[in-house]
Amino acid sequence: MFESLQDRLGSIFSGLTGRGALSDKDVAAALREIRRALIEADVALEVVRDFTDRVREKAVGVDVVKSVKPGQMVVKIVHDELVEMLGSEGETIDLNAPSPVVIMMVGLQGSGKTTTSAKIAKRLTGRDKKKVLMASLDTRRPAAQEQLRQLGEQVDVVTLPIIEGQSPSDIAKRAVQAGKLGGYDVVILDTAGRTHIDEPLMIEMADIRKHADPHEILLVADSLTGQDAVNLAKSFDERVGITGLVLTRMDGDGRGGAALSMRAVTGKPIKLIGTGERMDEMEEFHPKRIADRILG
Ligand code: GDP
């Protein structure tokens, strides 16, 4: 995760902190290198521009050049701006609503929706001691419904039985009803994906939203798709409205462009990251911890 940026920033900073004095020119050169490193990590250009502008402004404001440890000052400014860019405090799933709290999972096929639904269910039942019901709304792919059922068994979470012929919004209504009657705290709706965004998918998502009134709508996106994931989040947000994101396959993502740009471009928080295929391989997204990790 973030290895390319870690390496690049590491060498830029060791060049800065190893010296006693810095000139304005040195700072400007470092900023150019930081800019290049962010672009190579596939961070959205507008985000790179804003970021370097803010670092430059702060660096001038605190008179980096005249400070005792100018290199360390630059590192600190970059760190703080990175945290800001990633969303400061960080956010996680919000369960602050009347039971059952409905969490609707949306995203493209193969992004990791079903896996993430089960990971979230496992975390909520285990760590948070919640009573959770999961339902698959993928009426076009029986294999997807079966996959959720099997994962449910694996993590010991109930899945809504399938009734042939029901539409996705019918299943959503039935799941919420079963959630109410059964005294569940949380209902997780795993919706159908497609290989790309199309109109029927958006209409289906909007329809489910109307009937299930979810408190959280989480877009699951593959971090390896970089800026495509960011554009996907924008489109889903415009059409369906999302409350946050889960970025999967962070374990294989050495660049991290989607994770780094997502918040700044979409205004929506990354709430969780997937770090592997196993049911416990999911982490909360803490901007400060991520910045610490990137800057070593
Ligand atoms: P869906 O079509 O969106 O429901 O996607 P799935 O949940 O079926 O996931 C597709 C594949 O991605 C499966 O093989 C998962 O095990 C895998 N996967 C999901 N999340 C992660 C992750 O965070 N890291 C890795 N390495 N694999 C993941």
Sign of the four-CA dihedral 183, 204, 245, 266: negative
User: Considering only CA atoms, which of 148, 158, 262, 137 is closest in space to residue 208?
Assistant: 137
Annotated ligand binding at 191? The verdict is yes
Q: Residues 165-169: what's their mean pLDDT?
A: 95
Which pLDDT does position 65 carry in this prediction? 67
Higher pLDDT, 166 or 71: 166
Q: Give percent helix, percent strand, percent coil of the chain, each to the nearest 5.
A: 55, 15, 30
> What's residue 26's pLDDT?
85
Q: Is the bond preceding residue 100 a cis peptide, omega within 30 degrees?
A: yes
pLDDT score, position 22: 77
More confident site: 175 or 71: 175
pLDDT of amino acid 235: 93
Q: Do the annotations mark residue 209 as ligand-binding?
A: no
Amino acid 23: pLDDT: 82
Say if ligand 1 is within 6 A of residue 243 CB: no
pLDDT digits (tens, 9 = 90+) for 197-207: 889 999 999 99
- Which pLDDT belongs to residue 237? 96
The answer to the question of whether 134 is labelled as a binding residue is: no
User: Tell me: the pLDDT tens digits for 255-285?
Assistant: 999 999 999 999 999 999 999 999 999 999 9
Whole-angstrom distance, CA of residue 259 vs CA of residue 270: 8
Structural element, H or E, at residue 204 = helix 199-212
- Mutation pick for ligand 1 pocket among 109, 115, 145, 248 (CB with most ligand atoms within 8 Å): 115
The two structure tokens encoding residue 267: 């205004």
**Separation CA 189–CA 163 (nearest Å):** 15
User: Which strands, in side-by-side order, build the sheet including 270-274?
Assistant: 158-159, 132-136, 186-190, 101-106, 216-222, 244-248, 270-274, 282-284
Q: How far apart are CA 42 and CA 140, in angstroms?
A: 34
Banded pLDDT at 90 (limits 50, 70, 90): confident
Q: Is the ipTM of this complex over 0.90?
A: yes
Whether pLDDT at 66 is above 80 = no
User: Is residue 70 lining ligand 1, measured as CB closer than 6 Å?
Assistant: no
Report the mean per-residue pLDDT for the chain. Answer: 93
What is the structure's pLDDT at 20? 72
Q: How far, in Å, from the CA of 276 to the mean position of ligand 1?
A: 8
Does ligand 1 lie within 6 Å of residue 267's CB atom? no
Q: How confident is the model at residue 25 (pLDDT cuts 50, 70, 90)?
A: confident
Please tell me the total number of residues recorded for the chain in this structure: 296
pLDDT digits (tens, 9 = 90+) for 205-234: 999 999 999 999 999 999 999 999 999 999
Could you tell me which residues are beta bridge partners of residue 134? 159, 188
pLDDT at 60: 77
Q: What's the CA-to-centroid distance between 82 and ligand 1, angstroms?
A: 28
Q: Evaluate if residue 194 carries a pLDDT over 90.
A: no
Say yes or no: CB of residue 100 within 6 Å of ligand 1: no
- Tell me whether residue 114 is annotated as binding: yes
* Per-residue pLDDT, 89: 86
Q: What angle do CA 275, 276, 281 make, to 5 degrees?
A: 70
Q: What is the pLDDT of residues 137-150, one digit of tens each?
A: 999 888 999 999 99
Is the model's pLDDT at 13 over the cut of 70?
A: yes
Amino acid at the residue 240: V
CB 155 within 8 A of CB 118: yes
Cβ density class 151-166: b for 16+ within 10 Å, e for less? bbeebebbbbebeeee
Phi/psi region, residue 71 (left: phi>0; alpha: psi -120 to 50; beta: rest), is alpha
Distance CA 237, CA 264 (A): 14
Q: Is the pLDDT of residue 287 over 90?
A: yes
